[in-house]
Amino acid sequence: MLDLIIRNAKELNQEPVEIGILDGKIQQISSKISEEAKEEVTLSDTQYLSAGWIDDHVHCYEKMNLYYDYPDKIGVSKGVTTVIDAGTTGAENIGDFYHITRDKKTNVFALLNISKWGIVEQDELADLTKIKEEKVAQALRDYPDFIVGIKARMSKSVVGENGITPLELAKKIQSDNEHLPLMVHIGSAPPELSEVLAKMEAGDVLTHCFNGKENGILDHETDKIKEVAWDAYRKGVVFDIGHGTDSFNFHVAETALKEGMKARSISTDIYVRNRNNGPVFDLATTMEKLHVVGYSWEEILTKVTATPAENFHLTTKGQLQPGFDADITIFELVDEDKELTDSNGFTRVTHQQIKPIKTIIGGVIYDN
Ligand code: ZN
Ligand code: ZN
C-alpha cells in the first residue's frame, strides 16, 4: 500500500500522469496507478504539477538582524519545497542555524559564508581575519548534509579595501574541499566585474546576474552585454537571478535575452523586508518576471527545479522520477493581468500568473 497517490495530474506538456508516493519518496509515475494508498489527492483540470520548487538564494536564519526570514514563510507557504540560504551564516553560527531548521516543514540547506560570522554586518569581508579556512573545513565536516556550498559577496560595501582577495581565498577553500559549489554575489565596484568573472570557473554560480548597476553585465553606454560577461557565460559560469531588493532589472534581462543569454537558475534573494514590501514578494512573482521577459514556463520551471538541484548537488531533488524525494509543487496558470516591479522601480505587465496551490514535501501535503 502506498502512502499517497496524486491522481488526474499533468505537467505542462499536458500528458496525464499519476504519482505514487511511499516513505517520502516518489515510488512510481505512470498514466494509471492501480494500487491503493492511505491518502489520495485528485487535481482539478486547471491544475499542474512540477518537481518541488527550489529557491537557491534566500536568507532565512531568523536570528540575524540585517537579512533574515523564516524558512516556512518563504518556502512551504509559497510553493517552494527547498530553500538554500545564501551565506547568512558562517562557520561560527551555522551550527545554530542547522539546529533551528531541523523541525521546519521546508527543506533548508545552506551556503556557508567564508566570513566566519556570516552577514552580521554589511562588510563581512572587509576584515580578512574573519576568513578562517580551518573553521570552514570543520563546519563542512560537522554539517556535511546541510552545507551545499560556499558564498562570497564581492561588492564594495562588503569587501571594503580588499578588492578581489576574498574571492581568491574562496577559490582556494573551494579547491581544497572537493571543489564545493561556490556562489558569488556581484554589485558595485571595486572589485570590477571583469576581475570577479576572470576568477570564476564553469559551474560557479554568479548571483544577481541581471542587476542594473554600472558594474553589472550591461554596458549602459552601448546598451549591449559586456564582452567579459559573454566570456564568463560561454565558459560555463552559472548565471543566477538572485532578484533581491536591489539586483534585478527588466531591461538588463531583456537585453541579455535579445542577445541570446539566459539565466540558468531563478532565485529570489528573499528576506523579510523585500518579501513584505516588495519588490520580491516570493519565488512565483520572480518566475512571473522572467515570463514577462520572454522565458517559457517550461524553462522557468526547469530553472527552479532540475538546474538548482544539479548546481548544488541535491541528487534526490529537482525531478519527478522514481526514487527521488516526494517534493512536488501543484500550481495553476491564471490568465489575469498583474503589474510587476523590478528592483529599480521599472514595471511590466504579465498577462499570466503562476499560483502555487499545494506544496508536497517528503510526501506530506500542505495547502497554500
Ligand atoms: Zn547578494
Ligand atoms: Zn542574498
For residue range 88-113, what is the model confidence (pLDDT) as tens digits?
A: 999 999 999 999 999 999 999 999 99
Kindly indicate the confidence band of residue 276, based on its pLDDT and cuts at 50, 70 and 90: very high
Q: 145 CA distance to ligand 1 centroid (A)?
A: 23
Q: 186 CA distance to ligand 1 centroid (A)?
A: 7
| Cα dihedral across residues 186, 191, 197, 203: positive or negative | negative
* pLDDT tens per residue across span 193-204: 999 999 999 999
Q: 258 CA distance to ligand 2 centroid (A)?
A: 27
Question: What is the full DSSP assignment across 165-187?
Answer: HHHHHHHHHHHHTTT--EEEEE-
Q: 257 CA distance to ligand 1 centroid (A)?
A: 22
Ligand at minimal distance from the CA of 66 is 2
Q: 270 CA distance to ligand 2 centroid (A)?
A: 7
Where do we find the cell 539586483?
247
Q: 243 CA distance to ligand 2 centroid (A)?
A: 9
* pLDDT tens per residue across span 113-141: 999 999 999 999 999 999 999 999 999 99
Residue 304's alpha-carbon distances to 145, 149, 169, 318, in angstroms, are: 20, 18, 29, 8
Q: 11 CA distance to ligand 1 centroid (A)?
A: 33
Q: Report phi then psi at 246, rounded to 5.
A: -130, 15
Q: 191 CA distance to ligand 2 centroid (A)?
A: 18
Q: What's the maximum distance between 2 C-alpha atoms anywhere in the chain?
A: 65
pLDDT of the residue at 239: 99
Ligand at minimal distance from the CA of 187 is 1
Ligand at minimal distance from the CA of 267 is 2
d(Cα 300, Cα 308) in Å, to the nearest integer? 12
Q: 281 CA distance to ligand 2 centroid (A)?
A: 14
SS3 80: strand
pLDDT of the residue at 368: 87
Residue 289's alpha-carbon distances to 108, 162, 272, in angstroms, are: 25, 35, 20
Q: 102 CA distance to ligand 1 centroid (A)?
A: 25
CATH number of this structure's domain 2-50+322-367? 2.30.40.10
Q: 266 CA distance to ligand 2 centroid (A)?
A: 13
* pLDDT tens per residue across span 7-30: 999 999 999 999 999 999 999 999
Q: 8 CA distance to ligand 2 centroid (A)?
A: 38
Cβ–Cβ under 8 Å, residues 86 and 59 = yes
* pLDDT tens per residue across span 144-187: 999 999 999 999 999 999 999 999 999 999 999 999 999 999 99
Q: 319 CA distance to ligand 2 centroid (A)?
A: 25
Write down the domain spans for the chain: 2-50+322-367, 52-311
Picking from 285, 275, 272, 177, the residue whose alpha carbon sits closest to that of residue 241 is 285
**pTM of this structure:** 0.98
Q: 185 CA distance to ligand 1 centroid (A)?
A: 5
Counting Cα atoms < 13 Å in the Cβ hemisphere of 327 gives 27
Q: 36 CA distance to ligand 2 centroid (A)?
A: 44
Ligand at minimal distance from the CA of 208 is 1
* pLDDT tens per residue across span 41-76: 999 999 999 999 999 999 999 999 999 999 999 999
CATH number of this structure's domain 52-311? 3.20.20.140
